[in-house]
């Protein structure tokens, strides 16, 4: 079997107001593989790099997944970076999908088989539209939404610092105001949902070390499952400083693009949960190496997944085959792009199951995807009240 073509489909979904980036690998035997790339907002850059790599890939044996990964990562002078890593990730995921189809087995079988029957997931419960002045912008609405999800069977929920407050919706982020809103929101969620429901809080890298320490300490008596990205992950020394001052479990890493960038976080035990993004950090080939490395430090996986159904499928097969797995982020339901992506996954409450189809269990309709091409989408940006830039 030989690769005959590699194509990118950037699909705009108006209901979500965003683009999704899919990469499809074609072969001379008619089998195809499907992958997805991260780095939202830079889809055209990824598409251009896929076009650059296509001549290199044509004629190659798609079963040589590791060799192809090494060729795309190391076979040139300049390497690394988020666009590069996301492009390699999409191609890599497509190759695993293709290999599973060729052998007639689900991808999780190629990764060692199931270590669990399903992946437990968490949903996002913050409400960014509308306000609730009775209990601090958006808190009552968020609690009601969370209660509805728990009634469906979800056991994990997530919200972000300041999200749902009036100022955040206006693009303004001030740490003091966001911190108090976040504490009030957690207290309301814990009171409404009870002690058994797990609550994750995403600091979204917006907090300085001083505010991260204050906020984490305030939340600790209410038992967060984890605090996510309290600081920017590229500065590991600051996470070491934070680790000395708080007891809350730390989850981080969604922006990291290669195994080399994980080194200090893993080796210095600076996190409790690994937030790898398969569609940024080199795909399944890289993810399984990082997961094995984490296992030697008892760090559990909690993959980042704000993307489409192909990302969700790749995460699911990774989750099912990974011994130390905690919980899977699930922003969109598996059927988020009906008519364009078909999937065998099923969601029961907050539990995600594979349909055990060969490969990843996802298929893309080329013509339907081309009918919804890329459209420019606005960047979400935050600023302080003085109009200086805030981390998003």
**What's the token pair of residue 2?**
């030989």
- Per the structure, the complete domain to which residue 34 belongs is given by 3-105
pLDDT tens digits for range 341-363: 999 999 999 999 999 999 999 99
Q: Which residue has the higher pLDDT, 178 or 221?
A: 221
210 and 315 in a single domain? The answer is: yes
pLDDT tens digits for range 228-279: 999 987 788 899 999 999 999 999 999 999 999 999 999 999 999 999 999 9
Q: From 350, 291, 278, 338, select the one nearest 89 (Cα to Cα).
A: 278
Q: Indicate whether 132 pLDDT > 50.
A: no
**What's the token pair of residue 167?**
């100022």
Q: Look at residue 29 in the predicted model and tell me its pLDDT.
A: 97
190 and 310 in a single domain? The answer is: yes
162 and 221 in a single domain? The answer is: yes
H/E segment holding residue 328: strand 328-329
183 and 73 in a single domain? The answer is: no
94 and 132 in a single domain? The answer is: no
Q: From 75, 80, 62, 79, select the one nearest 25 (Cα to Cα).
A: 62
Q: Which residue has the higher pLDDT, 77 or 100?
A: 100
Residue 380 lies in a domain: no
CA angle 324, 82, 107 (to 5 degrees): 40
Q: Which of 105, 133, 153 is the last residue of a domain?
A: 105
Q: From 145, 128, 207, 215, select the one nearest 180 (Cα to Cα).
A: 215
Q: From 256, 120, 255, 125, select the one nearest 186 (Cα to Cα).
A: 125
Rounded CA separation 322/111 (Å)? 8
Residues annotated catalytic, as ranges: 159, 204
Contact 282, 85 (CB under 8 A): yes
Q: Which residue has the higher pLDDT, 136 or 170?
A: 170
83 and 150 in a single domain? The answer is: no
Q: Indicate whether 134 pLDDT > 80.
A: no
Q: Indicate whether 108 pLDDT > 90.
A: yes
Rounded CA separation 300/255 (Å)? 17
Burial of residue 284 (CB within 10 Å: 0-12, 13-18, 19+) is buried
For the ranges 71-80, 105-114, 377-386, the lowest mean pLDDT is seen at 377-386
143 and 174 in a single domain? The answer is: yes
Rounded CA separation 325/38 (Å)? 21
325 and 345 in a single domain? The answer is: yes
CATH number of domain containing 127: 3.20.20.120
For the ranges 5-14, 74-83, 266-275, the lowest mean pLDDT is seen at 74-83
pLDDT tens digits for range 17-46: 899 999 999 999 999 999 999 999 999 999
Residue 371 lies in a domain: no
Look-up of token digits 């052998």 = 103
Q: What is the mean pLDDT of residues 322-346?
A: 96
Q: What is the mean pLDDT of residues 170-199?
A: 93
Q: Indicate whether 133 pLDDT > 70.
A: no
The runs of H, that is alpha helices, within the chain are: 43-57, 65-74, 82-103, 107-110, 139-152, 166-169, 175-193, 209-219, 236-243, 259-267, 283-295, 309-321, 366-370
Contact 391, 143 (CB under 8 A): no
Give the number of domains in the chain. 2
Residue 384 lies in a domain: no
Q: What is the mean pLDDT of residues 54-77?
A: 96
How confident is residue 172, by pLDDT bands cut at 50, 70 and 90?
Answer: confident
Quickly count helices (H) and strands (E) in the chain. 13, 17
Residue 379 lies in a domain: no
CA angle 122, 123, 128 (to 5 degrees): 150
How confident is residue 131, by pLDDT bands cut at 50, 70 and 90?
Answer: very low
Q: Which residues contact 67 (CB under 8 A, 6 or more apart)?
A: none
pLDDT tens digits for range 154-169: 999 999 998 766 666 6
Percentage of the residues of the chain whose pLDDT score is greater than 90: 83
CATH number of domain containing 32: 3.30.390.10
Residue 232 lies in a domain: yes
Percentage of the residues of the chain whose pLDDT score is greater than 70: 96
Q: Look at residue 324 in the predicted model and tell me its pLDDT.
A: 98
Q: Look at residue 136 in the predicted model and tell me its pLDDT.
A: 52
**What's the token pair of residue 283?**
């795909």
Q: Look at residue 89 in the predicted model and tell me its pLDDT.
A: 98
121 and 53 in a single domain? The answer is: no
**What's the token pair of residue 170?**
């206006």
Q: Look at residue 129 in the predicted model and tell me its pLDDT.
A: 47
Reduced to 3 states, what is the DSSP secondary structure of residue 20? strand
Rounded CA separation 377/2 (Å)? 36
């Amino acid at each position: 079997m030989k690769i005959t073509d590699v194509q990118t489909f950037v699909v705009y979904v108006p209901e979500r107001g965003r683009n999704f980036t899919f990469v499809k690998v074609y072969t001379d035997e008619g089998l195809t593989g499907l992958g997805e790339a991260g780095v939202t907002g830079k889809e055209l850059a990824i598409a251009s790099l896929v076009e650059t790599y296509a001549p290199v890939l044509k004629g190659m044996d798609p079963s040589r997944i590791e060799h192809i990964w090494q060729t795309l990562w190391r076979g040139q002078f300049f390497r690394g970076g988020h666009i590069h890593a996301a492009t390699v990730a999409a191609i890599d995921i497509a190759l695993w999908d293709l290999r599973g189809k060729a052998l007639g087995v689900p991808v999780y079988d190629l990764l060692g088989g199931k270590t669990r029957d399903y992946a437990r997931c968490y949903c996002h419960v913050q409400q960014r539209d509308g306000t609730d002045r009775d209990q601090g912008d958006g808190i009552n609405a968020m609690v009601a939404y969370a209660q509805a999800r728990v009634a469906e069977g979800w056991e994990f929920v997530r919200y972000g610092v300041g999200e749902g407050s009036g100022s955040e919706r206006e693009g303004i982020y001030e740490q003091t105001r966001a911190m108090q809103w976040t504490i009030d929101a957690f207290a309301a969620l814990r009171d409404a949902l009870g002690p058994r429901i797990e609550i994750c809080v995403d600091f979204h890298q917006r907090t300085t070390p001083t505010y991260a320490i204050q906020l984490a300490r305030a939340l600790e008596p209410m038992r967060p499952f984890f605090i996510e990205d309290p600081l920017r992950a590229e500065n590991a020394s600051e996470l070491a400083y934070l680790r000395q001052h708080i007891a809350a479990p730390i989850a981080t890493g969604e922006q990291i693009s290669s195994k080399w960038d994980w080194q200090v976080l893993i080796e210095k035990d600076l996190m409790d949960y690994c937030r790898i993004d398969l569609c940024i950090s080199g795909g399944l080939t890289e993810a399984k190496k990082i997961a094995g490395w984490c296992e030697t430090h008892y760090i559990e996986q909690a993959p980042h997944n704000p993307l489409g159904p192909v990302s969700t499928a790749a995460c699911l097969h990774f989750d099912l085959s990974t011994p130390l797995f905690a919980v899977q982020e699930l922003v969109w339901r598996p059927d988020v792009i009906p008519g364009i992506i078909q999937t065998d996954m099923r969601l029961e409450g907050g539990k995600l199951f594979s349909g055990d189809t060969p490969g990843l269990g996802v298929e893309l309709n080329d013509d339907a995807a081309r009918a919804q091409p890329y459209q420019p989408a606005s960047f979400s940006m935050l600023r302080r009240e003085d109009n200086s830039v805030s981390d998003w």
